[in-house]
Amino acid sequence: MTFTSVPKRQVILDGKSYSLSSIGLGCMSFSLPAMQGQDPATIETAALEVIGKSLEMGVNIVNTATFYGPDGHNEKLLAKAIAKFGREKFFITDKFGVLHNRTTNAFEFSAPDSVAEECDASLKRLGTDYIDVYIPARVNPEVPIEKTMEQLAALQAAGKIRHIGLSEANAATIRRAHKIAPISFLEIEYSLWETQIEQVVLPCCRELGIKILAYSPLGRGFLTGTVKREDLGERDFRKMTPRFQGENFDNNKSTFLTPIEDIANRMSTESGEAVKPSQVALAWVLSRGEDIFPIPGTKRVQLLEENLKAAAIKLSSGDLTTLDTVVREGAAVGGRYPEFAAHMLQDLTVDSKAN
């Protein structure tokens, strides 16, 4: 496994050419310690170290959101990185439109007419005059997607955002939105244990030329093989997620983790270099197409390096067949979100030709 840097892909978005890293960096985990009251200076130092190392290894896509951490914490943290390393080093994908009520731990939609206001606030927190891709984090069922898109198109015309994205949208919504203004990226969960997008959503995106930002490509850490059910704290989002609970955890481990670990162990033996289950899982996502950009997150440099080196992993046809069989015949047991967040998800099986 020879690694030099994360490979770049040439991508055309709205007629403009970009050289984007095949793997991006999800930044949410940087703000989890802030939600737990940890020392701000320690959080900042660790985050800047990881971000700096990611840039050094060839990453330029970073993913943030207005609601990652209290009071725009994640965007403010990213602003420190922008100030230190330079705005030109980053392709920023930023989500808005969701509020996290930290008293009730519930997620709520922000006001329908607040898109411009939220964008201005994000620009201020980030310390930049434009965002590369601005993304409504969820589709509000009470607001026509056309209304949201018109507001985003106005921001694009004003130069405040370069491109428009969607997140967790079904094919019917994507088509409606794309008629108002071009969609450049869809941010959506995609991994070995979450492949629902392959049924309808991914074919729709490919038809329309929309790229995929694949979040949670490691199944929120499950596919690394290092997560133990008993280690999940009471405030850990995963402890409240059905897939990580009770027998679901054990069944999912047998279905997904065992074959991944078997492949990693065999590759380690054959190459003489340690290959991690996480690298196998990421290599599988990367194998699904040049239009798919996984955005794993981590707070540790060591894990960042492991994740990015997955770009050098070449799965054999036999390995891919094994993993494809797992995906085809296996199904993750339990919902992918707790009830307090699942209500904001669209039905991804809605026919792509629906109006």
DSSP string, 160-171: SEEEEEEES--H
Is residue 218 within 8 Å of residue 243, measured between CB atoms? no
What is the number of H-type helices and E-type strands within the chain? 13, 12
Task: Give 240-273 pLDDT, tens digit per residue.
Answer: 898 999 899 999 998 999 999 999 999 998 888 8
Domains and CATH numbers, the chain: 8-342 (3.20.20.100)
Q: How confident is the model at residue 137 (pLDDT cuts 50, 70, 90)?
A: very high
- Does the annotation count 215 as an active-site position? no
Quickly list H helices, the chain: 28-35, 40-56, 73-85, 115-126, 145-157, 171-180, 201-208, 246-252, 258-271, 277-287, 301-308, 317-329, 339-342
Q: Which two tokens stand for residue 93?
A: 């994908």
Is the pLDDT at 75 greater than 60, yes or no? yes
What Rg do the C-alpha atoms of the chain give, in angstroms? 19
Residue of 68, 190, 215, 337 with catalytic role: 68
DSSP state of 184: -
Is residue 104 within 8 Å of residue 341, measured between CB atoms? no
**Taking the complete model, does pTM exceed 0.75, yes or no?**
yes
Q: Please name the residues in contact with 235: beta carbons below 8 A apart, sequence gap of 6 or more.
A: 35, 36
Q: How confident is the model at residue 355 (pLDDT cuts 50, 70, 90)?
A: very low
Q: Which two tokens stand for residue 286?
A: 């990367």
Is the pLDDT at 195 greater than 70, yes or no? yes
Task: Give 119-129 pLDDT, tens digit per residue.
Answer: 999 999 999 99
Q: What is the mean pLDDT of residues 127-142?
A: 98
Is residue 201 within 8 Å of residue 186, measured between CB atoms? yes
Name the more confident of 203 and 341.
203
Is the pLDDT at 36 greater than 90, yes or no? no
